[in-house]
Each structure stands twice: as structure tokens, then as C-alpha cells.
Amino acid sequence: MAPKLAAQARREFEPPEAEAGPEGALLDLSHLSSIVGYPLRRAQMAVFEDFARRFQPLDLTPAQYSTLSTIGDNPGRNQSEIAAALGILRPNFVAMMDELERRGLAERTRSGVDRRSNALALTPTGRELLTRARVVQGEQEAAIEDILGRGEREALVEALRKLATLA
Amino acid sequence: MAPKLAAQARREFEPPEAEAGPEGALLDLSHLSSIVGYPLRRAQMAVFEDFARRFQPLDLTPAQYSTLSTIGDNPGRNQSEIAAALGILRPNFVAMMDELERRGLAERTRSGVDRRSNALALTPTGRELLTRARVVQGEQEAAIEDILGRGEREALVEALRKLATLA
């Protein structure tokens, strides 16, 4: 927009009291706070940042942790099944399995022609890392329960499960 | 891992019943479902996918919508304040403002030496788009309330706000 039009828009659409507002004063976020998507995203980011900090010594991302955990509880299932259950796109999942295999944490245990049909399993190293990771995860759950209390935490998980059916 | 070691790991760590499990049978996801981060991420992805579908005709991402909405409710505030309030990193926020300005939706209304000190405002076009976007957002909220009911929806938002203090 040309400077002249910009100046016009300023006069028309900026209420004078906003100019007088002291820098650093609280913003009106009431609209965003009243819709579900915004606090949902802020909470998800906070929990994932907290996860990243706790899991940094183990060098695991949330997706890697979910994958190790699901393979550990479901040995012998194939890549397509695990990827679908976790809602991870297959190309991304294959790349992650490559990385987990490179680190000696998980393996594709049948080498068929179609890599998608390979059954997955943890290695001894992967199993040991999963055990340590679940202890760390338990610490995060305890921190969350400190904030919410047990009842509200359980109600939250239940509401989130229902909400996941939206899409 | 060498093939021989891989075969050994297979023998040691894969229970035979897993091999016999029929393909497509339900996976055990009980561990993931019991921790907050997993259903939180699944719900956030579902809500954002639903948002993307609804907002596709308006060509707005969630971050763009949040930004237009916050500028609309807080005209004259500067880039640093809006970016900080929304938890968006400044380089990302500057790039998004460039895009909103290019589309004629928002403007930096003072051209000081330091772009960060520019006050932000919506253009008439931006204000009109925000009005339409809030109607669409209201439709998403109604769909969420259909799933959760009003009381559970409000309890969810409250729990999410508390959870955002974790990081």
C-alpha cells in the first residue's frame, strides 16, 4: 500500500487510545483464549518443550519415544501398522526407522523385498533405552499431575481422546 | 548391527506369539494413551487439520489467524509485543508480517529505523477477512462443543491453560 493510503488506513482504523497504550502493557488475548485450538497448541508446545529438556540426555524426540514404546509393546508388527497406529506418514516413519536402526535401537527383522512388510523389534540396547525413557516419562507425568491434580489430569486425557476424533 | 547379532537379538527379544499375531489386529497403545503428551499431540493435530480444511477458502494458517485476531484486538501495538504474546519467534513473525502486508491484510504503520518498533494495524481488507474468519472459527468451536459438551469444553480449556505453564 502506498504511504498516502497507509496513512489514511491509520487514521480510519486505529483508535487513538491504542496509540496511548504504554508499551509492555497486557494485550487483549480474550478471543484466542476462548477458542480451543489456541490453548491446545500452547499446551502442546509447553509439554513438548518440557519433554525435549527431559529427554535431551537420552537423545530422543517425542516421535522416536512413541515409536520405541509401541514397538516394545508390539514386537513383530510391521512398519505400516506401527506408522498407521501413531499417525505418522510412511516416508517419515521409514526415515525414522533408518535412524533408530543406525543407532542400534530397533531392527527390521525380516528382509523381504518390500521393506514395508518387515517386522519391527527392539534390540537389547533399544529395550534398555526404553526402560530408562519410561522412567523419565513418568517424571513428566508426575510434574503434570502436580499442576492439574489426578482427577483433572484424567479428565483432560479423556477430553483429548474425544477431540482427536474431530478430523 | 551385523546380521548374526541381529538374528541373535531376534531370538532373544521377540516373543513367539508376536509372530503369530494376525496382521491388522489392534495394537497395544495403552502406555502412550496413558501419558498426557500423546493424546495432546493427536488432539492438536486433529484440531489443526480441521482448521486447515475450514480455513482453506480464506487462505489462513492458524498462526496467521492468531496474528490477525490479536492485531485486530490490539491495534497500534508493536511486532515484539504481538510476537511475544503469541509465543512466535521474531524471525518467523517478521516473515509472516511480510506475507500479511504483501496480501494487503495488515500494515506496519510507523516506518522507524528499527522495524521491530513499528506499530501494527489491520487494513480494511484485513479487518473484513478477520470478521469472516471469526465466523468460521465459531463453526469449529460449535463442532468441538458437539463432541465435548459445553462443560467439558470449558474444563478442557482451563486444564490446557494450566498445562501451558509447564515449560
Residue A108 corresponds to which cell in the numbers above?
Answer: 527390521
Confidence of residue B131 (pLDDT cuts 50, 70, 90): very high
Summarize pLDDT for A36-51 with one digit per residue, the tens: 999 999 999 999 999 9
Q: Report the predicted TM-score, pTM, of the whole model to 2 decimal places.
A: 0.78
| Sign of the Cα pseudo-torsion (A137, A143, A146, A151, in order) | negative
Predicted ipTM of the assembly: 0.78
Summarize pLDDT for B62-102 with one digit per residue, the tens: 999 999 999 999 998 988 899 999 989 999 999 999 999 99
**Cα gap B4→B125, rounded to integer Å:** 67
Q: Are strands A120-122 and A106-108 parallel, antiparallel or unpaired?
A: antiparallel
Q: Are strands B120-122 and A106-108 parallel, antiparallel or unpaired?
A: unpaired
Q: Does B38 touch chain A (CB under 8 A)?
A: yes
Chain B hits for A167, Cβ within 8 Å: 45-47, 49-50, 53
Nearest to A160 among B43, B73, B87 (CB): B43
**Cα gap A72→A123, rounded to integer Å:** 10
